[in-house]
Amino acid sequence: MSNLEEIKLAISSSLPGLSDETLKKCIHGLSAIGVETKDDLQYVKEDDLMEFLRPIQCRKLLYAWKNEEQSSCTSPQRSLRHVLSDTSSPGSESSSSTTSSSTACFSASCAWAETFKVPWEVMSSEIKLAIANKKRPSPADRRKLVRMLVDNMQKHEVNPSKAQCQIVEQNIVKQYPDSFADVLSDGTKIGSGYASLLLQVKTCVEHVNRNNTLARRRKERLRSSCSTISQSSRRLADQYGCVSWQPEEFPAGENDDTLEEKRKQMVLLQSTEGMSGADRGELHKLMEVTYYRQRRDINATPPLSELKNSWPYLFCLKGIFLHFQLLTDISLLQKIMESIQGKGKRILRFFQEKPSNKEVCAVLSKYQEGNSLVLCILKLLMAHFKERTESLLIEADVSITFRFLMS
């Protein structure tokens, strides 16, 4: 197995619900900071992963890598804090202490969840039979399983947190995916694969603790015990999924004065031509060049009316699509179209097999292979929910336009 495959396996085994796109970005980021082999993962710090993953995901990875290192090493075990501080520079002491305290807080609160054993031996015979036959338990049997699961989790924690429940449910789905994973009829995994079970368990926890004031006070104490996490580290949450949250430098050949002049040009264009000015080719370039100023103004969190006056084309579709692409490096319109093409056939097949009303049947009767699938899906959904087509789509008679042009 190559070094790249080993690193990929080390990440995916700890975070099986991670999307392929995020996994690729994570591997690329690790490679950029010098991770060449699986052994190099022990030197990775939480700050190195924050650009690609959420805090809990970062800590789960570090926790898993630390345990793997300790289990394969015969020398005295080191704490995760020592592992993280091995590569710390003198100027990063504050960052190191923050990372260590937050990781220690997470490890202490979730240690029991990592080793939690589900009491399958005391489960009902129906659940055991479903698992043995790789079938999904009935809704009633699944509710019984959830309640028994919560009862056993409360032996460790009266009010288990969502992070703790997530670890338990993730392990269950990993062990018995055929019986508990969130999948469609064609085997396509939905999201993380364990979201529905996690929601059921957490809802049950909140239900049994609805009158337990001690559990709520315990929750507040836990929050205060982890208050050493700095405010700056919490603000990093705003950057998740972004590749250019706030550019550090002006665009080449630009400064505050030139960007302000370009902003005024767009304001003038909007005042004379309205939102139709977004169709001008020069606007795309102006929006792209002034992205630095746009992010600076947005991150200053001004009133929405003030932002709209300063950047009117941020409030039209073309401006939103462009800004989102620069912010996340994702073409929103392309993603929407890909999603519709991928899921649209499934929606179409569903209505073909089970038409819900006569309006849906009318739309299906007019659809032919080769026609616009997107338009058909929109009409089907609107017909199913009994929405007026005119509220979203404007239909025109092509022959009238043709006769007008010929006259």
Give the per-residue SS3 of 142-196.
HHHHHHHHHHHHCCCCCCCCHHHHHHHHHHHHHHCHHHHCCECCCCCECCCCCHH
Cβ partners under 8 Å of residue 341, min gap 6: 373, 374
Given a cut of 70, is residue 192 above it in pLDDT? Answer: yes
d(C-alpha 284, C-alpha 265), whole Å? 13
- Model confidence at 2, pLDDT cuts 50, 70, 90, reads low
d(C-alpha 381, C-alpha 363), whole Å? 10
Q: Is 134 left (phi over 0), alpha (psi -120 to 50) or beta?
A: left
Cβ partners under 8 Å of residue 97, min gap 6: none
List pLDDT tens digits, range 293-335.
999 999 888 899 999 999 999 999 899 999 999 998 889 888 8
List pLDDT tens digits, range 9-21.
888 777 877 777 7
- Model confidence at 237, pLDDT cuts 50, 70, 90, reads very low
Scanning 226-280, the segments in alpha helix (DSSP H) are 231-235, 256-273
List pLDDT tens digits, range 109-145.
668 888 898 988 888 899 999 999 999 999 999 999 9
Six-digit token string for 7 = 């690193």
Given a cut of 70, is residue 399 above it in pLDDT? Answer: no
Residue 28 is which amino acid? H
Share of the chain above pLDDT 70, in %: 79
- Model confidence at 248, pLDDT cuts 50, 70, 90, reads confident
Given a cut of 70, is residue 77 above it in pLDDT? Answer: no
Cβ partners under 8 Å of residue 369, min gap 6: none
- Closest C-alpha to 143, from 207, 182, 194, 197: 197
Residue 80: per-residue pLDDT = 38
d(C-alpha 59, C-alpha 69), whole Å? 15
Residue with tokens 């030197």: 43
Mean pLDDT of 372-378: 85
Query: Running DSSP on this structure, what letter comes out for residue 238?
Result: G
Q: Is 83:66 a contact under the CB 8 Å cutoff? A: yes
Q: Is 260:293 a contact under the CB 8 Å cutoff? A: yes
Mean pLDDT of 160-185: 89
Six-digit token string for 29 = 């980021």
SS (H, E, C) 280-315: CHHHHHHHHHCHHHHHHHHHCCCCHHHHHHHCHHHH
Q: Which of 143-152, 221-230, 390-399 has the lowest mean pLDDT?
A: 221-230
Given a cut of 60, is residue 85 above it in pLDDT? Answer: no
d(C-alpha 90, C-alpha 233), whole Å? 19
Six-digit token string for 156 = 């460790």
d(C-alpha 224, C-alpha 226), whole Å? 5
Cβ count within 10 A of residue 361:
13
Instruction: Give Cα separations from 249 to 252, 254, 289, 296 (angstroms).
Output: 9, 10, 12, 11
Q: Is 297:304 a contact under the CB 8 Å cutoff? A: no
Please report, for the chain, the start and end positions of each structural domain, with discontinuous segments joined by +. Answer: 3-111, 120-225, 256-328, 333-406
Residue 81: per-residue pLDDT = 40
Query: Running DSSP on this structure, what letter comes out for residue 136?
Result: P
Residue 318 is which amino acid? K
Mean pLDDT of 199-226: 67
Residue 201: per-residue pLDDT = 92
Residue 150: per-residue pLDDT = 92
Mean pLDDT of 368-380: 82
Residue 215: per-residue pLDDT = 61
